[in-house]
Every structure is written in C-alpha cells, then in structure tokens.
Amino acid sequence: MATRQSLFLINFCKQLNTIVQDRCKDRVISMIRMGYSTVSNIDQTYIPRRTVMYVPGHDPKKLKKIPNLGVDCAVLECEDGVAINMKVQARKNIREALEYLIVKNVDLALRVNSCSSQLMEDDLGAIIGSDIGEPAKVERLPQTILLPKLDHVQELVTFTERLKSVKLNRKYCPYLITYVESTQGLMNMRDIMKQAAKYSEEGIFRMDGVVFGSDDFVADIGADRTSDAKELIYARQKIIAIAKAFRLQVIDMVHVDIEDLEGLKRTSIEGAKMGYTGKQVIHPKQIQTVQEAFTPSPVKVKWAHELIEGFEQHQKSGKGAFVFRGQMIDMPLLRQAKNILRVVENVHRPS
C-alpha cells in the first residue's frame, strides 16, 4: 500500500510533467508567433540556386543566351544592371523573353527595382500585370521574384499590395527572394522575415531566400572594399544566421572582378563553408567556378553516405556517439551529412 509520502511524490511528478509539457508547448507556439519555422528544410521543395546570374533586361542578345548558360537561377534584371533610360525597354524585352524562353532546370527569376525607387510598381505592372498588353498565362510568368534593397517592413507591405493587384485573379504564387543591402535592412531583417512568413502562410508568395547585396552594403557603411572582405564579415555572418532561422536559402555577395577567377574560387568556397547556399554571378566566365564551389564533392558525398549508414547501425546497437574515420560522430554530424545529401539530390548535374 502506498504511503502518504509516495502518493505525494507520484502527484508531484505528474504535476511537474504537465508543467514541462506546457512550457514546451508555449515555446513552440511563441516560436511560430515569432515567425520561426519549426519544420525541417528537408521536407520542403528545394529549388537549387547555386548560381544566381543577372541577365540585363535591356540586352536581348544576352536574354536569348539563358537556356544555354548552365545556371540554376537566371535573373531577368530590371534594377542596377539596367540604365535608368532603358527601364521601359527592359520591361518590354523581359515580357517577350518570358514568352519565347524554354528552359529546363532553370529557375527563371525577375529582379524588380526597389520600393524606394518607385519603379517597382511599373516593373510589376508591365511584366506580371496588364500595363503593356494582355496579361500572360501563369506558366509564362517568372517562377521567382527578387526584391532588392528591402530596408523596412513597410516596403514589403507596399510590394505585396502591388503584387496582389497585378495577379488579376490568376493563381500565381511566385517564390520571393529579398535583399539585405544596408544597415537598416540588416537591423530590420528579422521583422521583415516575420512579415514575409505571414504573407507566405496567406499564399501571396513563397518566401524562399535572402541575398546579401554586399556592394550596396559597402557603400552604406562607407567601407573600403578589400579582397578578403573583412569589412563585411559581421553582416555576411548575421544574414546567414537570420535566414537559416527562417529556413531560407541564402545567396552570397557578387565578385565584381570578372577576370579574377582565383579570387572568385576562394570566396565561393569560403561562402559555401560559411553556410551560403549559392552566389550571385554577373558574367558567363564565373558560372563554372561558382557552380562547383556550391556542389558537394564526390568525396564529401561518400563521407555523408557512409556516416549516415554508420550512424544507423550504431543507433540499432544502442550507441548515440561513435568514432568514424577518427572523428567523434553524433547527431550534429548526422545533420551536416544530411544537408550535403539534400543539396546533391536536388541539383541537376549535366548528363
């Protein structure tokens, strides 16, 4: 028969269990409210964007090259790659290009101008809406929209309202990738991502990534651009941390010296090791180097497969940690190995 003390102990344990469960539930709810995703990336559709290449909209010759570039993401550019007096022509060319371009395994994206430029509305009206002719079928619209220089939540609200109005009742839900290009944008990034997560839940767009606009960022902080990018390290790191908290892809800075392929290789590998999932590209010469840097090597893939196999075997025999190729392996290493395989499974290698 249970004594008074043991009954007290049983009750105490039950109450403790309830408190712990409630605390846990509260934490999950508050994380969702804060905008953080609790689901693993592994279950989401993954569009590889190792190379994010700008193709200026004013240049039809360059636009025609898109199917043969071999990039993951081709950006139909309306912003800084297009002179102010060529914006109207660029919009026309892009609309035409969207009709004739046939691409396989390429994310066809549109970079509009920033909200602060007051050109964004006309970009969306002309290319997505009906400002210059019959609205295009959903299959002919860009799969992804890139929104640069996003400094404040209010700008995302303005963009979203305009996007809603140019959808014209079509079922169009593009991926959205936004840019951090200033100290304001960096400071407000978390709030902007929270708002973007809300709009994604409403089905207006699918928030999918963040780009580090390093050149504009350098100008904003008044730094000198150096080859090892020391002046950018804080922003470069912080953007990864926030983007990953929201389970987003994160695209690294552009390498403006087109002839410097060594420097491009070094910074690409560095970016990939830091956690970036891809890099901005401006010239065909840069594509192969960047694509390779963001593709796990066959050696790394073999390591990941063998580690996962070893992990599963050790789990069955009741061991959480074990030694593999001289390294202590436990759950974090398993997650790293799975990250590698996720990239490999989703990238399209040339046959």
Ligand X SMILES: CC(C)(COP(=O)(O)OP(=O)(O)OC[C@H]1O[C@@H](n2cnc3c(N)ncnc32)[C@H](O)[C@@H]1OP(=O)(O)O)[C@@H](O)C(=O)NCCC(=O)NCCSC(=O)C[C@H](O)C(=O)O
* Catalytic positions, written as ranges: 330
Residue 56, interface with Mg ion (CB under 5 A)?
no
Please tell me whether 111 is known to bind a ligand: yes
Could you give the angle at which helices 214-221 and 233-245 cross, rounded to 10 degrees? 130
DSSP letter, residue 278 = E
Please tell me whether 181 is known to bind a ligand: yes
Residue 270, interface with Mg ion (CB under 5 A)?
no
Residues 154-183, mask of contacts with ligand X (x by CB under 6 A): ---------------------------x--
Report d(CA 76, CA 128) in Å as an integer: 13
- Taking the least distance from each CB to ligand X, the nearer of 254 and 340 is 254
Q: How many residues bind Mg ion (CB under 5 A)?
A: 3
* Residues 74-83 as b or e (16 or more Cβ within 10 Å = b): bbbbbbbbbe
Selection from ligand X, Mg ion, none that 61 binds (CB < 5 to 8 A by kind) is ligand X
Binder of ligand X out of 98, 120, 250, 254 (CB under 6 A): 254
Q: Which two tokens stand for residue 4?
A: 């008074």
Selection from ligand X, Mg ion, none that 254 binds (CB < 5 to 8 A by kind) is ligand X
Residue 185, interface with Mg ion (CB under 5 A)?
no
Q: DSSP letter string over 99-138?
A: HH---SS-EEEEEPPPTTTT-HHHHHHHHTSSTTSSPPPG
Residue 81, interface with ligand X (CB under 6 A)?
yes
Binder of ligand X out of 131, 216, 260, 292 (CB under 6 A): 216
Closest approach of ligand X to the CB of residue 151, in Å = 13
Q: Is residue 94 classed exposed, middle or buried when 0-12, 13-18 and 19+ CB atoms within 10 A define those classes?
A: buried
Closest approach of ligand X to the CB of residue 282, in Å = 4
- Taking the least distance from each CB to Mg ion, the nearer of 216 and 231 is 216
Let me know how long the chain is: 351
Q: Which two tokens stand for residue 31?
A: 């994380």
Please tell me whether 131 is known to bind a ligand: no
Residue 262, sorted as left (phi over 0), alpha (psi -120 to 50) or beta, turns out to be alpha
Residue 284, interface with ligand X (CB under 6 A)?
yes
Closest approach of ligand X to the CB of residue 190, in Å = 21
Closest approach of Mg ion to the CB of residue 282, in Å = 11
CA pseudo-torsion sign 187, 249, 210, 282: positive
Residue 213, interface with ligand X (CB under 6 A)?
yes
The total of other beta-carbon atoms located within 10 Å of residue 232's CB is 19
- Taking the least distance from each CB to ligand X, the nearer of 275 and 284 is 284
End-to-end CA distance of the chain: 74
Residue 213, interface with Mg ion (CB under 5 A)?
yes
Residue 216, interface with Mg ion (CB under 5 A)?
yes
The owner of tokens 């409210």 is 33
Q: Are 110 and 94 in contact (CB under 8 A)?
A: yes
Binding site for ligand X (CB under 6 A): 54-56, 61-62, 65, 77, 80-81, 148, 181, 213-216, 253-254, 280, 282-284
